[in-house]
Amino acid sequence: MKLNDLPTFDTAALRAKDAAHHLHPFTDTRSLNAAGARVIVRGEGVRIWDSEGQEIIDGMSGLWCVNLGYGRQDLVDAATHQMQVLPYYNAFFKTTTAPAAELSALLSEIAPPGFEHVFFTNSGSEGNDTVIRLVRRYWDLQGQPQRKILISRHNAYHGSTMAAASLGGMSGMHEQGDLPIPGITHIDQPYQLQHGKPGESEHDFGLRAAGWLEAKILELGADQVAAFIGEPVQGAGGVIIPPASYWPEIQRICDKYGILLVSDEVICGFGRLGHWFGCQHPHINTRPDLITFAKGVTSGYLPLGGVLVGERIARALIEQGGDFNHGFTYSGHPTCCAVAIANVQALRSEGVVQRVATDTAPYLARQFATLADHPLAGDAQSLGMVAGLVLYKDKAARTLFDADLGVGYRCRDNCFKNGVVMRAVEERMIIAPPLVMTHDEIDLMIARIRRSLDDTLAGLRAEGLI
């Protein structure tokens, strides 16, 4: 369908309906309704359009998920075909479906060695709920039922269900839900800007930050600790890229105390870091026992998530476990699985993951780094196709703006105005563009971000805030 073929949208009417009836996730409804939601009506490649015809480069791949970009007919065809043949059937009644079986096998081909099994969910949150169930079941089967505690990190994001939000370390979420639930505890994140000491090297900071895990294990007693969970690169927390020394040290500590390692790859999976899974990136380099995935498995075209289950847990579950009393109506939904198969096949046959590693991500890194010469921006960093920078009030002194000024949100609004989606997380501005972005599109995205930084600076100056 061409843009001109689209029906016209009555933006005011849609906004009114939305304001009257739609409660948005993670949103202050009152202030949203005062401004009115932007109605997104179409996507093609790396671009989206709103109902008023504005073209916007989607620097966030939707919500870190549209890895192949918009408008892929092969994914549409896979869904259409499966819906015609068998839109749904469950996997509970000693039954399976062709797409669920095929996708399970395909995932074990692209997963790191030792991952031969998958448990399907609908979302990343349900994936991480499943992680807790699997981890605790594993230790029960090992005759160590007291090993219940999962250790995570402050400012981690692992989802929004009660258990996944507890695993996450978002204080604003914990405050509103009497969270975390019991048996989950947090250590500090490896964010040098927040926790580094003056003069400390990145390498030393990474080792010190990993050491917080060992200290927590010793405090709790190793025989009480079931697992450590982390995102290879914290996404929603603001694209916090840990030092290269961090993850290998975490792996060493988990091995030393026999603690399971869970890699939450809801963002980092399916090529985002230029490898099928983030743990395979040399900067991360871990051997997890469980991998949570969602988002990029279908490039967001349909909801699907799950957990890749490593050998020692799978063996215990299958050989000793009997019934595993956990699952969802839509675990292994055939239409979602069919789209995931088409998505993985396209990522593979078009060499997308490899191209990210050798070409697209290095190019993005170079272009994104140039933003650090802007007076407002510093510490521009990327890994694969995620990148973040810090908005500074005084870059030389590394002084941040007063949080109440909402400088990040001003910058984000300017980005939308200038035709690019960039997300604000406190002092950080972040992107995670589609993996299929071309050099020209990267250049245009960076130019629009630069213009938005200029506009933000001009606005702050006009108000006498800088």
Q: What is each CA distance from 346 to 67, 250, 323, 362, in whole angstroms? A: 11, 34, 36, 22
Could you give the CA distance from residue 303 to residue 121 in angstroms, rounded to a whole number? 9
Question: Whose Cβ is closer to ligand PMP: residue 307's or residue 411's?
Answer: 307
Q: Which residue has the tokens 């918009």?
A: 70
Question: Whose Cβ is closer to ligand PMP: residue 211's or residue 327's?
Answer: 327
Least Å distance, CB 173 to ligand PMP, is 12
Least Å distance, CB 218 to ligand PMP, is 27
Question: Whose Cβ is closer to ligand PMP: residue 124's or residue 419's?
Answer: 124
Least Å distance, CB 408 to ligand PMP, is 18
Name the 3-class secondary structure at 262: strand
Least Å distance, CB 298 to ligand PMP, is 11
- Cα Rg of the chain, angstroms: 22
Report how far Cα 379 is from the mean position of its chain's Cα atoms.
21
Least Å distance, CB 307 to ligand PMP, is 11
Q: Which residue is nearest to ligand PMP (CB)?
A: 124
SS (H, E, C) 48-97: EEECCCCEEECCCHHHHCCCCCECCHHHHHHHHHHHHHCCCCCCCCCCCC
Could you give the CA distance from residue 388 to residue 179 in angstroms, rounded to a whole number? 28
Could you give the CA distance from residue 131 to residue 272 in angstroms, rounded to a whole number? 22
Residues that bind ligand PMP (CB under 6 A): 123-125, 128, 157-159, 231, 235-236, 264, 266-267, 294, 305
Question: Whose Cβ is closer to ligand PMP: residue 140's or residue 188's?
Answer: 188
Question: Whose Cβ is closer to ligand PMP: residue 65's or residue 259's?
Answer: 65
Least Å distance, CB 434 to ligand PMP, is 16
Least Å distance, CB 160 to ligand PMP, is 6
Is the four-CA dihedral 76, 82, 87, 88 of positive or negative sign? negative
Question: Whose Cβ is closer to ligand PMP: residue 173's or residue 209's?
Answer: 173
Question: Whose Cβ is closer to ligand PMP: residue 68's or residue 267's?
Answer: 267
Q: What is the length of the chain?
A: 466
Q: Which two tokens stand for residue 319?
A: 């050989």
